[in-house]
Structure 1
Amino acid sequence: MAFRGRKVWLWRWRRNPLKRRADTLEAWVLLGAWALTLLVGVFSGWAAAGAVEHELARERATWRPLQGLLTEQAPGKASAQPGAAGDRVWAKVRWTAPDGSSHTGQVRVDPGSPAHSTVTLWTDPRGHLVTEPADPGRARVRAALVGVLAGCACAAVPFVGGRVLRGRLERRRVDQWDADWARFDPLWGRRQPG
């Protein structure tokens, strides 16, 4: 088992007669990689969160609720607690868009809802079915989650690039040590025990 001394912080930045140019270069590469990782992660996450929140606000502003009629009875039995989200089923509905055109589609309703009953559905400006837009609180949470994921994914690029570059520098340093050792080993081997 190899002996390891106590860890010295910021050793790459201290003066040392044994420190090579490769050590200084590695220190700058690590500093640059960490700074770039932080900047890319924060700015890309912030931009993604802003874009998602802007899009969800646009949906809230343009999507409108309409009343539609079920064209057939919804499958299943009517439950004792209507409106429970987990118990909703798909049913065919008909509605009239704001421009007067008639549309049909499927929406989720309570099981056993009778035919010709009214349901609330959401449409975009062209009259196509959409889901209910997220309220401002949910939009912030959704935007924050997307921002965190996008920031982490984008920050991985400079982080991995820095690790790859550091690995190459490490291999180069080991090769230099091997070359120096091969050059000086024969000189040390000639010494006579004395």
Structure 2
Amino acid sequence: MRMIRGLWRWRHNPLRRKTDVVESYAALIAALIILLAAPAVGWATGSLAQGALVKAAREQRAERHLISATVVKVLPHPPIDSDPETATATASDAHRRVFAQWTGPDGSRHEGALGTHPGADPGERFHLWTDGHGRPMGRPLDTATATTHAVLAGIGAGAATAGLVDGARRLVVWRLMRRRYAQWDIAWERAGQDWGRADADS
């Protein structure tokens, strides 16, 4: 709004320069592009990301299988770092490492070290995501997470567009300022030739 008021103020001002008008129009055009293009880019990016992520989530759910594994034995915890400055809590601290056995969706038998909930004991069964051959996999992407990622992608794209447009406006203003300074130098040099002379006004 301040940019529009500035443009209106310069319309009939006798002191306005061509660079002032160009700067005001650059600000107005940048504001319009930010208001119109940035949301459109954000929406388009979010829609594309949503479609790709939902498709990926669907494919993951089709390729991954939730099966049951049996705890054979609990594996010892790694040694705890006694230095409080270097010791950090990680996601693995909330899990218990166990040696487990499971049967894949294709009937193949597997065993190996896995992470499960902290209270897991030998003989206990827990859920595990695997591929079609029984290899452990991560949990498939769910629709809510896909939507969240798509929204964040759209916001990021819109913000990046606004930043690029504002950067272009600042570049135009910088070029105009350099031109103004050059014009001032020329005008001052001309005025300086008669500066202090008694007949300067004659």
Look up the equivalent residue of 1:108 and give its one-letter code.
Answer: G
- Calculate percent identity across the aligned residue pairs: 31
Mapped pair 1:145 → 2:190: no
Offset of residue 176 of structure 1: 0.9
Offset of residue 75 of structure 1: 4.6
Distance in 2 (alpha carbons) for counterparts of 1:118 and 1:8:
66
Look up the equivalent residue of 2:67 and give its one-letter code.
Answer: L
Once the two structures are superposed, what CA deviation does each residue of 1:127-163 show, in whole Å capped at 9, x if it has no partner? 6544324544444333323322333234322222221
The question of whether the paired residues in 2 share the 8 Å contact of 1:74 and 1:110 is answered with no
* Alignment gaps of 5+ in structure 2: 78-91
Instruction: List structure 1 runs of 4+ shifted beyond 6 angstroms.
Output: none
Q: Secondary structure at the match of 2:67?
A: strand
**Normalising by structure 2, what TM-score?**
0.66
**Normalising by structure 1, what TM-score?**
0.68
* Alignment gaps of 5+ in structure 1: 1-6, 77-84
2:6 pairs with 5, 11, 27, which one?
Answer: 11
Offset of residue 193 of structure 1: 9.6
1:157 pairs with 152, 164, 183, which one?
Answer: 164
Task: Please name the residue that 1:186 is paired with.
Answer: 193
- Report the number of matched residues: 180
Structure 1 stretch 46-55 or stretch 158-167: which is displaced more? 46-55
Q: Secondary structure at the match of 1:10?
A: helix
Over 3 Å counting, the alpha-carbon distance change for 1:33 and 1:106 in structure 2 is farther
Distance in 2 (alpha carbons) for counterparts of 1:15 and 1:151:
36
Look up the equivalent residue of 2:30 and give its one-letter code.
Answer: A
The question of whether the paired residues in 1 share the 8 Å contact of 2:3 and 2:27 is answered with no
Offset of residue 113 of structure 1: 1.7
Task: Please name the residue that 1:4 is paired with.
Answer: none
Mapped pair 1:30 → 2:33: no
Task: Please name the residue that 1:175 is paired with.
Answer: 182
Task: Please name the residue that 1:20 is paired with.
Answer: 17
